Chains A and B, each alone.
Chain A
Amino acid sequence: MQPEKWGELSRQILIIGASARGFELGKRLSTFTPVMHAVPENYHSISMTDRGSFTFREMSYLRGSYGRFTAGFKTRDGLKEVKAGRIIVITQPSADLNQLEKVEGMKPATVAIVVKNASPINYQKALLGCLKYSGKHRFYIITDDVQVCFPGGEKLYGQAREQGIVFIKTAEYKLTKQDGKYILELDSRDIQGLGEVQVPVDLVIHLSPRPIDENEIKMLKVLNVRQTGMERYPFGTDREGIYLVELDWLGDDGIESLFVSLLLQDEMPPATTGQFQVQYDLCALCLTCFRVCPHRAVEWGYPARNLYGQAAWINPVACMGCGLCASECPAGAIKPVAGAAVEAGIILACKNSGGPILEGSNLKYRLFPCAGNIGLNDIMDALDTGNGRATVLACRDGKCQHGCGGRRLEAKVKRLRHIIGPENADIRVIRVSAQDNGKVAAWGENKASDCR
């Protein structure tokens, strides 16, 4: 039921975007695989001598998944369809991350780093940079939202806090300069009881991205990419096979690292067995999985045929294993490939956020790849095991690597409460972060002891 051979999938790499560096990258990649360039029409200054390139006005659609993409472009001569296995999009540069190096030669100072609307990549860079110099300087990270959805993100955030880096979450701040020093004024309602705060700092570094142009925003929508900086850092996205490369990164090093990672993938596809599979004869072709998959890894009509003439199919190389499809499939047709024995648990937890907290504890718990994978039936089983009580741990909003697992879970719990009546459903949903480690007591020592 897997694609028979890796060779069946398209090997062509489509590079979207215009820059000399992009063509440089294409040249390098073309040493092992076919490459096609799609160049936005307004960048006509680029010489289009390359045979493997075309210009387009607008990207209109993207179908399929990793290895099987079909991209549609509006061009001067009408609609053009391109088949591609992987897609690299060269985006406008975001923040100038090298600014952090400024602090290297400085005397010990207080540095404020402003990270607004930033991608997880920028957060990672900011955190790594601060950690590097945290022994010498004092850092404040002023941010609208702390991002940790990149590999190791939670851990890095924890380290940063241990090192005394102060995170101030606020959307509004004012900067004034007095006697060569900056005063950062924050009206922070997020800091409890503090209200207006004034922080004197020596240096302010902005790591917020420059405005992305409208066309780019439109294209990201068509590509259905919601998060960047996932998996195969730094270019991967929440969709396998789609890479966003900021122009800034496309130096010689960037090209080389992208070349190596794409070459390795070509030799060794990331996952030849998917983590979830459709049992085709049960598929009702209701398209639930296709719609809910946050990574757009589901297609239909390939390769199986069932009662309806076609069935849903999870592209094993595009699946990121969250299992949202399995918990929501109304026909119960989607199952994990490696069906581990299910142990009864009173605590159901997302392995990313709840896993590290529960690890090593003697509580009775069951881990799921994502809170979105926890289904109504799992909660019912937990209520059964716990004599009418269950606890569910999910990521905080905006922290889920799979989009919105926690929110989908809360909606299910709400429905369950509605059906059996709130008084009969003692279900606690706790939004946690892996950094809440050791805080099990905070949600009630007596509750915790019930779970043993």
Chain B
Amino acid sequence: MLHGERIKQVIVAELKSLEQIKEMLAGYRRILVLGCGGCVTVSQTGGQKEAEFLVRLLRHEIQAERVDCQVVPRQCEWEFLDVLETDISNYDVILSMACGIGVQAVNERYPGKQTLPALNTTFLGMPVKHGLFEERCQACGDCILHLTGGICPVARCSKNLLNGPCGGSQGGKCEISKDTVCAWQLIYDRLSALGQLDRLDVIMAPKDWSNARDGGPRRMAREDLFLDDEE
């Protein structure tokens, strides 16, 4: 999983609006806010501190019998969710502060309770500076970073162009906004520095998107890792 890697590429998420959260929670009296110690802690949206904050916020904003907080190391591992077993009967609903993976895992692990998302999972990225997260990967399933000077056109070009740049590249910026750097400008600069500009002469063939979302939900099986008692 992403979480265990030392590379600082994390799932980035942001808090839903308070209105949305209040609407989701309407009718529930006993609420458990469940934080996650993985990516969303690092991206400052769903860790211990933010979970405690949301609890205070909800106690302040809604009439509930109880709003409590608990944080597990990662919501995307069954074992870490087991610890909730004893307390879960005390709550009507779980408000998960994990990414979409965590929310689904908790729903699956505790089907008798509804688990709601407190965050919008936004992208896979990294903090380019403290507090500023940028998208770096779209998990397309067919990495071409070796061809593009280590800069991903799939995630970082607004049009996901494989043979860029397009006419919208002006002064190194993308036409969609002055804050968006043209990925193909970056690729050109980097290839130029590496002495590999000739790579740009080769037209890249259309990408096989079947490894990405176009091929439906993906799964990866590592049979060597399967345990004996599993099918």
Contacts and interface: CB of A to CB of B under 8 A. Distances in A.
Main SS at interface, chain B: helix
B56 interface: yes
B49 A331 contact: yes
Contact of B44 (A288, A308, A333, A420): A288
A135 B18 CA distance: 61
B41 A286 contact: yes
Contact of A286 (B42, B50, B52, B60): B42
Contacts of A383: 60
Interface in B107-151: 130
Nearest to A307: B73
B9 interface: no
Contacts of A287: 8
B21 to A, nearest CB: 10
Contacts of A286: 41-42, 44
Contact of A332 (B42, B49, B60): B49
Contacts of A58: none
A284 B60 contact: no
Contact of A381 (B37, B50, B56): B56
Interface residues of A, number: 26
B212 to A, nearest CB: 29
A330 B130 contact: no
Contacts of A333: 48
B57 interface: yes
Interface in A417-431: 419-421, 424
B61 interface: yes
Most buried by A among B49, B50, B61: B49
A171 interface: no
Given A282-B48, A286-B42, A419-B18, A331 B53 contact: no
Interface in A283-304: 284, 286-288, 291-292
B56 A384 contact: yes
B15 interface: yes
A377 B56 contact: yes
A375 interface: yes
Contacts of A419: 15, 18, 57
Interface in A133-181: none
A380 interface: yes
A312 to B, nearest CB: 12
Contact of A384 (B6, B18, B47, B60): B60
Contacts of B15: 419
A329 interface: yes
B69 to A, nearest CB: 10
A331 B49 CA distance: 6
A378 to B, nearest CB: 10
A291 B8 CA distance: 14
Interface in A306-328: 307-309
B53 A284 contact: no
12 contacts: A284-B41, A286-B41, A288-B44, A292-B130, A330-B48, A331-B47, A331-B49, A332-B49, A332-B52, A383-B60, A420-B18, A420-B61
Given A309-B6, A380-B60, 18 more contacts: A284-B37, A284-B41, A286-B44, A291-B130, A292-B130, A331-B37, A331-B47, A332-B49, A332-B52, A333-B48, A377-B52, A377-B56, A380-B53, A380-B56, A381-B56, A420-B61, A421-B18, A424-B61
9 smallest CB-CB distances across A and B, nearest first, come from A332-B48, A380-B56, A330-B47, A286-B42, A284-B41, A291-B130, A330-B44, A331-B47, A332-B49
Interface of A: 282, 284, 286-288, 291-292, 307-309, 329-333, 375-377, 380-381, 383-384, 419-421, 424
Interface of B: 6, 8, 15, 18, 37-38, 41-42, 44, 47-50, 52-53, 56-57, 59-61, 73, 130
